[in-house]
Amino acid sequence: MNSQVQTEVVKDQRKVAAKPKSKDHMWGIFILVVAIVTIIGYFIVSPQKLYKPGDDIGYNLGLAGGLMMLALLLYPLRKRVKFLDKFGLLPTWFKWHMVLGILGPLTIIFHSTYHVYIPYFHPIGSVNAAVAMYCMFLVSGSGTFGRFFYTKIHHGLYGRQATVNELKAELEQSGDVKSTFSFAPEIEKKMDWFRVQAEENAQAGKLGLAKFIAIGIQTEMLSRSLVKELHGIMRAQAREKNFTPAQMKSMEGMFIEYRGLIKSYLSAVRDASQFHTYERLFSYWHIFHIPLVYMMVFSAFYHVYAVHAY
Ligand code: HEM
Ligand code: HEM
């Protein structure tokens, strides 16, 4: 059912698949910590017993958050200005862009002591500060969407831009993956059927929204059903060959490897077929994101001018 070589192929594929996932986990943990701090912070600073936005502490928090957001704008600058090439690696700048894009707004939330003008609900306080605040939330939130689209059309979060042909070539290389399942021809056949169908749907970049969503759902469903089927087949073969407990244990290990392979293969098929749509979504995102950045910068500068002028 399995050879040493196949096991190595499986392990290599798993290593490749595992790397971006661990970065996603780190990012998820970071966002969770920020969310918890934001919730707990509300109870600590919103009664304004510790400080107010205009006090020393409040003012310095505003300054710190504002500087963080100015610093994150160095990333697009680093991308475009040739002279800045000498300073650091682009992926590092990008990482800090995203980290500061979350920590900056968090610092500003603490600066505001959660006191923001909201029409009808909380119509008290500075309107220009509130405009800056809403733009900031929109930009930071939209950045999170952008991050998602970005990973779909680049080699990982910090890799260079991918092309659909590269993704297809990678998929063809993983032809070995399908043959790994020669002991389970039904699974092999279904994986192949999924690839052919996804390729047909995506031809000439004409994947409509409905099919785009359907492929995502289908990938999830097929992953689950094939993994279940694989488990059944492996257990049946073990029973048939009267596996010893030690053999059963090693079979469970193989099952985990194969499960990872099925999932990464189906995800690779999905990503290749959705590529053009993600490219388009990323360019729409850009059109939406950039004016918001300008609005945020102008309203924040106006707010700083206003608090000093009056
Ligand atoms: C994107 C950046 C910023 C946002 C979104 C923001 C937001 C806010 C908000 C919501 C308030 C509370 C207003 C109220 O009570 O209704 C406030 C107050 C204040 N902010 Fe900011 N702020 C930012 C940056 C800054 C910076 C960089 C400084 C100073 C250099 C600053 C100085 C102040 C001061 C002095 C107050 C108190 C104003 C008062 O009590 O009338 N802010 N800010
Ligand atoms: C206040 C917060 C933020 C501001 C002001 C901001 C601003 C910008 C600007 C000006 C660009 C450049 C677009 C270009 O190169 O044409 C950009 C790109 C980007 N930002 Fe942000 N951003 C913020 C937060 C975030 C966050 C929180 C994330 C992710 C979690 C993020 C992810 C991205 C991505 C993926 C790109 C595209 C990168 C590329 O094409 O090279 N941003 N952002």
Boundaries of every domain in the chain: 4-9+174-277, 12-161+286-309
Where is pLDDT greater, at 303 or 184? 303
Do 207 and 273 form a contact (C-beta atoms < 8 A)? yes
CA of 70 to the centre of ligand 1 (A): 15
Are 272 and 22 in contact by the 8 Å Cβ rule? The answer is no
Lowest mean per-residue pLDDT among 112-116, 169-173, 284-288, 304-308: 169-173
**pLDDT tens per residue across span 150-177:** 888 887 656 666 666 666 666 666 556 6
Pick the atom of ligand 1 nearest to 125's CA: 16
Ligand nearest to the CA of 307: 1
CB of 54 within 6 A of ligand 1: the answer is yes
Report whether residue 133 contacts ligand 1, using a CB cutoff of 6 Å: yes
Q: pLDDT value at position 1?
A: 41
Residues 248-262 have a mean pLDDT of: 88
Backbone angles phi, psi at 158, to 5 degrees: -115, 15
CB-CB contact of 102 with 30 (8 Å):
yes
Most confident of 32-36, 81-85, 223-227, 256-260: 32-36
> Which residue's CA lies nearest to atom 26 of ligand 2?
143
307 lines ligand 1 (CB under 6 A): yes
- Of 59 and 88, the structure prediction assigns the larger pLDDT to 59
Checking 124-133 for CB contacts under 8 A at 24+ apart, the result is 126/303, 126/306, 126/307, 128/299, 128/302, 128/303, 128/306, 129/303, 129/306, 129/307, 131/295, 131/299, 131/303, 132/296, 132/299, 132/300, 132/302, 132/303, 133/108
Task: For residue 56, give the ligand nearest its CA.
Answer: 1
Position 194 scores a pLDDT of 87
In our burial notation (b when 16+ CB lie closer than 10 A, e otherwise), range 112-131 reads bbbbbbeeeeeeeebebbbb
The pLDDT value recorded for residue 157 is 59
Helices (H), the chain: 4-45, 56-72, 74-80, 90-112, 127-153, 164-173, 175-180, 185-202, 209-240, 245-309
Ligand 1 pocket: which of 112, 124, 295 to mutate (most atoms <8 Å of CB)?
112
pLDDT at site 4: 37
- pLDDT averaged over the chain? 84
Q: What is the pLDDT of residue 19?
A: 46
> Which residues does 55 contact at the CB level (< 8 Å), separation at least 6?
none
Q: What is the pLDDT of residue 167?
A: 65
Q: Comparing C-alpha atoms, which of 287, 290, 286, 294 is closest to residue 147?
A: 286
Query: What pLDDT does 199 receive?
Result: 78
Q: What is the mean pLDDT of residues 252-273?
A: 86
Tell how far the Cα of 302 is from the centroid of ligand 2, in angstroms.
22
pLDDT at 261 over 70: yes
Pocket lining for ligand 2, CB < 6 angstroms: 69, 72-73, 76, 79, 97-98, 101-102, 104-105, 136, 139-140, 143-144, 146-147, 150, 293, 296
Q: Which of 98, 100, 298 to mutate to test the pocket of ligand 2 (most atoms within 8 A of CB)?
A: 98
Tell me the CA–centroid distance for residue 98 and ligand 2, in Å.
7
- Is the pLDDT at 5 greater than 60? The verdict is no
What span, in angstroms and rounded, lies between the C-alpha atoms of 110 and 42?
A: 8
Q: Quick check: 213 pLDDT over 80?
A: yes
Is the distance from CB of 229 to CB of 186 less than 8 angstroms? yes
Predicted pLDDT at 149 = 87
Output the pLDDT for position 32. 97
> Tell me, what's the pLDDT at 75?
94
- Cβ of residue 62 lying under 6 Å from some atom of ligand 1: yes
**Which residue's alpha carbon is at the smallest distance from atom 22 of ligand 1?**
62
When pLDDT is averaged across residues 127-156 and rounded to a whole number, the result is 90
Closest ligand 1 atom number to CA of residue 308 = 35
Check residue 11 and give its pLDDT.
41
Long-range contacts of 149-153 (CB under 8 A, 24+ apart): 149/278, 149/281, 149/282, 149/285, 150/282, 151/20, 152/271, 152/274, 152/275, 152/278, 152/282, 153/275, 153/278, 153/279, 153/282
Look at residues 167, 219, 177 and name the one whose alpha carbon lies nearest to residue 198. Answer: 219
Q: Can you tell me the mean pLDDT for 228-251?
A: 89
